[in-house]
Amino acid sequence: MKILHHPRIVNLIEVIDDPDSDHFYMVLEYVEGGGIFRESGPPGGIGQATAQLYFRDTVEGLVYLHKKNVVHGDIKPENLLVTSEGRIKIGDFSISQMFESGNDLMQRSPGTPVFTAPECCTGSQYHGKIADIWALGVTLYCMVFGCYPFIDDTLQDLYDKILHKELSLPDLSNHRLAHLLERLLCKDPKMRISLEEVARHPWFLEDLGHKPV
């Protein structure tokens, strides 16, 4: 994390070794507002204009991380911290991984189950960067609707829904946003939208009128 420095991520200021133990302490940049929200968010979401602003900032930070060959592994609203200016910084790199030569193949369990991509539910190898994009899609879904796209009481039933249940977009009149969510939450990782495509998507570029503080 020392090599990472960007306005859209929580930056590492210092690492302090404790000479009396095997522990070390990371001093991180302070972000005033905390996470966007916990769990699935307020009923009805936070509004498309605010969601778009937060989403754009998150994409900017994630593009930077992926260019540095870092897979975050736990993108979710709780880990997207809001500054006093109303901008987003990606935080919590506790399970992030850095790869050499752009080889982001992984097989470990990802971060939070409801944000887990379908390809991570089978125990097979998967590309961490593409799984991050699925979690980005779940995050946008939560910001817009205030609920998870897939949820169940047990981990196995949840994974079964993530793998097989069709995506539902309740009462969404913005067809551009619907199309983006469908591309982000495409179950086939080979067909899932890339971050470069996200940055060119009509909803991403649409002016919804929200301005940061």
Task: Name the residues annotated as catalytic.
Answer: 74
Close Cβ partners of 126 (under 8 Å, ≥ 6 residues apart):
105, 106, 107, 117, 119, 120, 189
Q: Rounded to an integer, what distance in angstroms lies between the CA atom of residue 88 and that of residue 35?
A: 9
Cα distances from 129 to residues 10, 29, 43, 114, in angstroms, run 19, 24, 29, 17
The 3-state DSSP class for residue 110 equals coil
Residue 97 has phi, psi (to 5 degrees) of -135, 145
Go through the chain and tell me how many residues it has. Answer: 213
CB under 8 A, 24+ apart: contacts of 21-30: 26/1, 28/91, 29/89
In the 8-state DSSP scheme, what is residue 70? E
